[in-house]
Structure 1
């Protein structure tokens, strides 16, 4: 049994061409949101089972690549065309050569994958629901059903989704929702990316069924809302090599803390540090756990008041150390009564 189960319906085979001296250097890896989350979780000492569909020749290769990294695979094998891409990065920027999202899951394969995910997620007690490679891979309502059934069985559910999949998962009920400000604005959940609009969107998502909501804001501090109120979380500012995968590393850091028994309010510190380190690297979902632990000390946390008309008020507390977060999460005497 693994510490965490990740629902990754369609992992992607990635082929990247880079330059090594005067010769092309070709790298083949497993990729996709769930894979990047799993990779960072492993770096943080958390064991992972990935529940996924393994399609055709690409799927057989993905199984070997995932298992070679130390990820346990609970896969549904099926014929057909899987998700894959070939990128050329020899010029410094990613240039797509060929990309395919693969084939959507059929009803029988989806039923089998659903059952596998429930089995593994309930055994772990902590499940991450990640997105598929393509919009048509599976019905969005799958996320509502999975979130509801996993929580009914006693598991905690973390989702890092957008659009219809986000709304479906929240309708089922989730312990933690992570989303970016851009996704909130794009999907019409926030009027714009102003603090006031983001706070309003977070309150609404919390009301709909997300116990904790985390909003990433590119280079601006993260925002967190839970039953105790809002936090503003400032990651350390690092020199950027590649921003891709930073959000998935953030999610993985939060999940790693939860796997160790922390609340999302406490775990956000590790998440912020993991996301900050990931941007310094070209490898997505990678980083050294010792460095992440050091970067935790550079994360700033401020409790902010909730004013729906004025947006974010001035902080009511200053910097809070990671050890002080537990105190912020403690209910006051009035709450205990």
Structure 2
């Protein structure tokens, strides 16, 4: 039995070309939202089962890479085109050579994947529902059914979704919802950028089926709403190398804390530290657990009185320099671009 189950319907084979003094350096890894979450979960000491449909030749490579990293893979295997991309970063910027979402899931594959997720999730008791590669991979209502059935099976459900998938998961009921303010705006749930409007949107999300709502706001402090009220969470401000994957690291930090027996209010401090460290790195879902533990000590929290929240002074959290961060984390050759 794994500590956490990650529903990742269509993991991605990633091929990235980097510049090297001896010539082009090619990196091949498993990727996608669920994979990056699983990677950070394992860094934080949690065991992971990933429920996915493994498709075609690229899917076979993805399965091998995941299992080599220690992830247990559950779900059906099929022929067809798997999700994959090739990116060229030799110029220093990420240039897309080709991206393929792969084939949509058929009814039989989806039934098998659903059953595997329900079985593994009921045994583990903690599931992250992550999005697929591409909008057409599977019906959004799958997330409603999964959230509802996992809840009925006694599992806690963490979601990091947007759009129709977010709405569907809420209709099923979730333990923790993580979403960004940009996603709320894009989904029409936040048409006013003011702080009072954001708190109202969070209350609406909670009333629609989320026990705890966590909203990220780029470089601004995170916000959390649960049955006790609002909490503001401020991580240390680190120099940014790449923001991609920070949200997935944050979601993984929440799940890792829950797996250890922490409440969402407790787990969110580790989540904030994991997300903060990830932005200093080029590898997605990567980070040294000892560095995250040290950064967690620098995360501050403040209870928000939503009747007087318009006056929102920001706590002085200090700043961790790149040199200070380097003293916390040891480099890892295997943590190149995923």
User: RMSD value over aligned CA atoms?
Assistant: 1.5
Which residue number corresponds to residue 23 of structure 1? 23
Local SS of the residue matching 1:148: helix
Q: Structure 2: how far apart are the matches of 1:93 and 1:264?
A: 36
1:305 matched to which residue of 2?
Answer: 305
Native 8 Å contact 2:179 2:216 kept in 1: yes
Which one has more relative contact order, counting CA pairs under 8 Å at least 6 apart? Answer: 2
Per-residue CA deviation, residues 47-101 of structure 1 (Å, 9 max, x unaligned), is 0000001001111111000001111100310111010000001111100000000
Q: CA deviation at 1:306?
A: 1.4
Paired residues for 1:227-242 under 5 Å: 227-242=227-242
1:199 aligns with 2:211: no
1:148 corresponds to which residue?
148
| Pairwise CA distance, 1:318 | 9.9
What does residue 36 of structure 2 align with?
Answer: 36
**Contact 2:75–2:112 (CA<8 Å) still a contact in 1?**
no
- Equivalent residue, structure 2, for 1:322: none
2:104 paired with 1:104: yes
Q: Output the CA distance in 1 between the equivalents of 2:279 and 2:314.
A: 30
User: Residue in 1 aligned with 2:329?
Assistant: none
Contact 1:181/1:217 (<8 A) preserved: yes
3-state SS in 2 of match to 1:23: coil
Q: Does 1:58 align with 2:49?
A: no
Q: For residues 149 and 214 of structure 2, what CA distance do their matches in structure 1 show? A: 23
What CA distance in whole angstroms lies between the structure 1 residues aligned with 2:57 and 2:271? 35
Equivalent-residue separation in structure 1 for 2:176 and 2:249 (angstroms): 15
Rounded to whole Å, the distance in 2 between the matches of 1:59 and 1:197 is 43
Return the alpha-carbon distance in structure 2 between the equivalents of residues 47 and 86 of structure 1. Answer: 29
Residue 220 of structure 2 is matched in structure 1 by: 220
**Structure 2 equivalent of residue 186 of structure 1:** 186
CA contact (8 A) 1:190 1:197 kept: yes
Aligned residues of 1:257 and 1:263 also touching (Cα < 8 A): yes
Distance 1:41 1:221 in 2: 22
Residue 91 in 1 paired to residue 81 in 2?
no
Alpha-carbon distance in 2 for matches of 1:87, 1:141: 32
Instruction: Spell out, residue by residue over 1:120-167, the C-alpha distance to the aligned partner (whole angstroms, 9 max, x if none).
Output: 011100000000001000000000000000010100000000000000
1:314 CA displacement:
4.2
Q: Which runs of 5+ in 1 are unaligned?
A: 320-337
Distance in 2 of aligned mates of 1:151 and 1:313? 38
TM-score (norm 1): 0.92
Aligned residues: 317
Corresponding residue of 1:128: 128
1:10 corresponds in structure 2 to: 10
Distance in 2 separating the partners of 1:317 and 1:192: 24
1:198 Cα shift? 1.2
Q: Distance in 1 between matches of 2:243 and 2:212?
A: 24
From the two aligned structures, give the one with the greater strand fraction. 1
The 4+ residue runs of structure 1 with deviation greater than 2 A are 310-319
The 1-side partners of 2:150 and 2:108 are apart by 20
TM-fit CA distance, 1:195: 1.3
Query: 1:194: how far off?
Result: 2.4
Question: Which residue of the partner structure matches residue 273 of structure 2?
Answer: 273
Closer/same/farther in 2, CA of residues 257 and 282 from structure 1, 3 Å limit: same
Q: Deviations over 1:253-304 (max 9, x none)?
A: 1110000011101100000000000001100000000000000111110000
Structure 2 CA distance for aligned equivalents of residues 240 and 65 of structure 1: 28
CA distance in 1, matches of 2:208, 2:160: 16
- Structure 2: 5+ residue stretches without partners: 318-338
Contact 2:52/2:76, CA 8 A, preserved across alignment = yes
TM-score, normalising length: structure 2: 0.92
SS at match of 1:197: helix
**Following TM superposition, by how much is the alpha carbon of 1:196 offset from its aligned partner in structure 2, in angstroms?**
1.5
**2: distance between equivalents of 1:122 and 1:217?**
33
**Residue in structure 2 matched with residue 138 of structure 1 by the alignment:** 138
Q: Cα deviations across residues 195-218 of structure 1 (Å, max 9, x unaligned)?
A: 122111100000010000000001
